[in-house]
Amino acid sequence: MKKLISICLVAGWFLFLTSITVASPVVLSLVPAYDWYHGCGPTAAASVVGYWDLHGYSNLFSAEGWDAVRLTANVQNQISSPEHNARYDPKPDDTTKPESWNSIADWFRTSKDPLDYGWSYQSYADDAFEGYANYRGYQFDSYYESWGAFTWNDLVNEIDAGNPMMFLVDSGGDGDTDHFVPVFGYEDRGSDGLWYALYTTWSESETTTWQQFRPMSSSYNWGVGYGTFVHPIPEPATITLLISGALSLIRRKNRHNLK
Amino acid sequence: MILTAASSFVFAAGVKVAVVKSWGDGIPAFTELNNNYGNYGSIPLTIDTSLRLVSSFTYEDLVSTDANVLWLSNPAGGVKHYSDAEVAAIEQYVSEGHSILGTYRVFQGWQTDNRKLAPIFGLPQDVNYNTDIVGAGQTFDIIDTYTNHPLFTDINDPYISNGYANAQVPDDDYSWDANDLKSAQLLAKTDDNRGIITLYETTSYHAIFISEMPEYNDSPADMQLLYNALTVPEPATICLLAIGSLTLTGKNNKKSIERKRL
């Protein structure tokens, strides 16, 4: 009997500990991973765009379905088009080549002078999502916040709402931003800190990487500098559908109440 | 003094420059130097850009240009990779008494590793090179011992460049330190050690490297520096003139002696 009690106590203590220190991670599914292609900014943005392609916005990429979307060969021209590469890969830019507006990198101004090859400004991240989505026939709303204004609760709310984000982080641990990554999950590990789920964009076959949600520092890698929010704006037809659905729900409720 | 005399003596017929496998279109400096070299000096200058945008070249191609000087204008920035055979062709051509000028991203860019070219300029091959934004109007202080070098003829000290606002730098600390120069001599530099002008002299050729890209615009100071860099006489010429000078000195002495005898 004593033995049973002690087992129960240990089990109870263990359950208590796990309940206060470990919360289940929340991770969005079907976020495609892409290998770095002509810039971390457009590559990271492509994962977010690819997610929405698989969640009701099927014209964002020309590829259809998970298998097709996850093949970089099918989407690399939409990350950074050959026209964009011809003009902005050389340093200085080769301005004799025509400008193009047909890939994420175009709206992100990736590699555009005075930036070096592969670099993008955070200040064009919202343009990248909105401009590219508009080019593909959709309306997206995007904005960004720097660390401080951008909080853990913001991340939790976005992921809980099914919205992956894009972070600009300090992957090198020198206190400066240097890398865009797609972010699609969070986990509160209690005394072990707050963590976010990302792809590094350094391999197409990569699995989820977890990093601690904390500000940039020269003492550790992967501190967070900025968070970019990305929200599709439902089309009028979708809104009409949603409203009619909501109305019928209200009517049903009313009827139910009447009863 | 000898150098100036040599340049006018040997290059009286002019200097032929071949721009080899370099950055893309849109550089006004080539046209400016071709058409208006007289604004910068008395030695005629011809810039041949027939090899500038080629995807590959051979030693024979270099010979066919008949160039006195090769100019590698930002090849890695133009995503132009030099094969081993092309590096060997350059090495052979310069070893035969032709000089070379390299500007901006010669050795390495994100997608292009041309570090095998670095030893031709007396610079180390075993370091990583990167680029950094340095801003327009970079101010180069000329090292005291080189203020009279022909490279700086008609150039103010400090020399202010209005070229492209980036520079090729060693990747470790974005600064050209003494150990980054290996066998090259430092002729001028910016305060932050990101902009440098170096000279590497061998018995058969000299190589000038400018870590920035003065040819990007066509400001007068940048054009003057490039004109000077392209018309600095080759070492063989300097030797030839030095021998001539010594012979002349010997003759003068002989005459003096003869006069004394008289």
Q: Do B26 and A96 touch (CB under 8 A)?
A: yes
Q: Do B165 and A114 touch (CB under 8 A)?
A: yes
Q: What is the extent of the structural domain holding A27?
A: 2-258
Give dist(CA B156, CA B198) in Å, integer: 17
A129: left (phi over 0), alpha (psi -120 to 50) or beta: alpha
Number of domains in chain A: 1
Q: Choose among A92, A96, A117: nearest Cβ to B164.
A: A92
- Among residues B99, B109, B137, B39, which one has the least CA distance to residue B235? B99
Size of interface A-B (CB pairs under 8 A): 41
Residues in B lying within 8 Å of A, measured between beta carbons:
23-26, 74, 77-79, 105, 109-111, 131, 133, 164-166, 213, 216
- Is the bond preceding A42 in cis, omega lying within 30 degrees of 0? no
Give dist(CA A104, CA A76) in Å, integer: 10
A111: helix, strand or coil: coil
Percent of chain A with pLDDT over 90: 71
Beta strands in B10-165 (DSSP E): 15-19, 45-48, 69-73, 99-103, 129-133, 138-142, 159-161
Give dist(CA B48, CA B51) in Å, integer: 8
Q: Do B105 and A91 touch (CB under 8 A)?
A: yes
Beta-bridged to residue B208, according to DSSP, are B101, B199
Q: Choose among A96, A116, A117: nearest Cβ to B24.
A: A96
Per-residue tens of pLDDT for chain B, all 262 residues: 333 333 334 555 799 999 999 998 768 899 999 999 999 999 999 999 999 999 999 999 999 999 999 999 999 999 999 999 999 999 999 999 999 999 999 999 988 999 999 999 999 999 999 999 888 899 999 999 999 999 999 999 999 999 998 999 999 999 999 999 999 999 999 999 999 999 999 999 999 999 999 999 889 999 999 999 999 977 655 444 444 444 444 444 333 333 333 3
Which CATH number belongs to the domain containing residue A93 in this structure?
3.90.70
Handedness of CA A62, A63, A64, A69 (dihedral sign): negative
> All domains of chain B, ordered by start, with CATH?
2-261 (3.40.50.880)
Tell me the pLDDT tens digit for each residue of A163-220. 999 999 999 999 999 999 999 999 999 999 999 999 999 988 889 999 999 999 999 9
Q: Do B74 and A116 touch (CB under 8 A)?
A: no
Pair of tokens at residue A5? 């009690």
Instruction: Classify strands B129-133 and B185-189 as parallel, antiparallel or unpaired.
Output: unpaired
> Is the pLDDT assigned to residue A60 strictly greater than 80?
yes
Contact by Cβ (8 Å): A72, B62: no
Beta strands in B9-164 (DSSP E): 15-19, 45-48, 69-73, 99-103, 129-133, 138-142, 159-161
Q: Do B133 and A92 touch (CB under 8 A)?
A: no
